[in-house]
């Protein structure tokens, strides 16, 4: 992971999530873009794909499930991680079908997310 710079996209309607993740991941050398709305985030994704997308589930307008669907159809290589305070088993199941990499319940330890992202990147590499 030292050579290639990983591109990370964060979508969460609460600004603090993006701010915190920007701080944490740019420090360890990620290229990170953060959005509080899904639509502009999807535009950014269309312009230049990201390696990993971290998205909130419940958002006004386009929600996390829709983000998942669009990202996977735009670029199946991109791994999607959904972070949420509440996910019903039905939603979780549906997300699995749509190819989510992992669900993470908020609040979580930043280190947990880091580990999940590393695993996502490792799997991505293995899949190539």
Partner 1 sequence: MSLFSGLKKLPLPWQRRGSAAHCRPISLVFSQFRAVLKANNQALELIADMGEKLSGEYLFDQRYVDSIVEELIGAMHRSIAAINTLTENRWTSLTPIFAGLEARVRAIASHRDDREGPPILWLSEISSRDWPLIGGKAAHLSELMANPQVMVPEGFVITTRLFHDLIDHNDLRADFARFEKLAAAGDDQEKELEALRASLEQRMLVASAPPGFLVTLEAHLSRLAETSSAPLFLAVRSSAQEEDMDFSFAGQFHSELQVLPTPNAVFAAYLAVTASLFGAKALRYRRQVFPEGGPLSIAACCQRMVSARASGIIYTEDTMAPGRQIMLVVGAFGQGQAVVEGQVPTDLFRIKKGENPQLIESTLAVKDQAFFAAGPEGGLAAAGVAPAKAGEPCLPEEKLLELARIAVHLEAFFKRPQDIEWTVDENGELSILQARPLLLTERNQEKKPLSEKLSTYPRLAEGAGRIAQQGIGAGPVFKVETLADLKRFPEGAVLVSLRDSSQYIQVMQKAAAIVTEVGTPVSHMSTLCREFKVPCLVGVPGIYTMVADGEEITVDAEDRCIYRGRVTELLTYQAATAMNVQMAPEFRMLRRIIHEVSRLNLVDPLMQEFRPEGCKTFHDLLRFIHETAVLDLVEIGRDERCLHGQKKLARHLALPIQAGILAIDIGGGFAEDAPADNIPFSAIRSKPFRAILQGMLFPGAWHQVGMPVSFADLMHSMLSTPRDALSGQYTGHNIAIISDSYVNLCFRFGYHFNIIDAFCHEVERDNHIYFRFLGGATDIAKRSRRASLISSILEAFDFSVRTRGDLVIARTGNLVQSEMERTLDILGRLVGFTRQLDVQMADEAAVSRYSEAFLMGDYGIVAREGGY
**Contacts with partner 1, residue ranges (CB under 8 A):** 5, 12, 14-17, 19-21, 23-24, 26-29, 36, 83, 85, 106-111, 113
Measured distance CA(39)–CA(86) in Å, rounded? 22
* Residues sharing a CB contact under 8 Å with residue 53, sequence separation 6 or more, in sequence order: 8, 9, 10, 11, 45, 67, 71, 78, 79, 80, 81
Q: How far is the CB of 118 from partner 1 (least distance, A)?
A: 11
Task: Indicate the residue among 20 and 119 with the shorter CB distance to partner 1.
Answer: 20
Longest Cα–Cα distance of the chain, Å, equals: 39
Min dist. Cβ of residue 49 to partner 1 (A): 21
Whose Cβ is closer to partner 1: residue 17's or residue 70's?
Answer: 17
């Amino acid at each position: 992971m030292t050579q290639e710079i990983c591109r990370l996209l964060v979508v969460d309607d609460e600004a603090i999530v993006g701010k915190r993740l920007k701080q944490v991941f740019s420090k360890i050398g990620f290229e990170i873009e953060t959005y509080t709305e899904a639509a502009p985030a999807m535009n950014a994704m269309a312009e230049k794909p990201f390696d990993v997308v971290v998205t909130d589930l419940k958002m006004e307008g386009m929600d996390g499930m829709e983000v998942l669907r669009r990202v996977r159809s735009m670029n199946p290589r991109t791994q999607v991680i959904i972070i949420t305070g509440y996910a019903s088993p039905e939603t979780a199941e549906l997300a699995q079908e749509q190819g989510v990499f992992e669900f993470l319940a908020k609040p979580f330890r930043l280190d947990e997310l880091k580990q999940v992202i590393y695993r996502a990147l490792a799997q991505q590499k293995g899949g190539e």
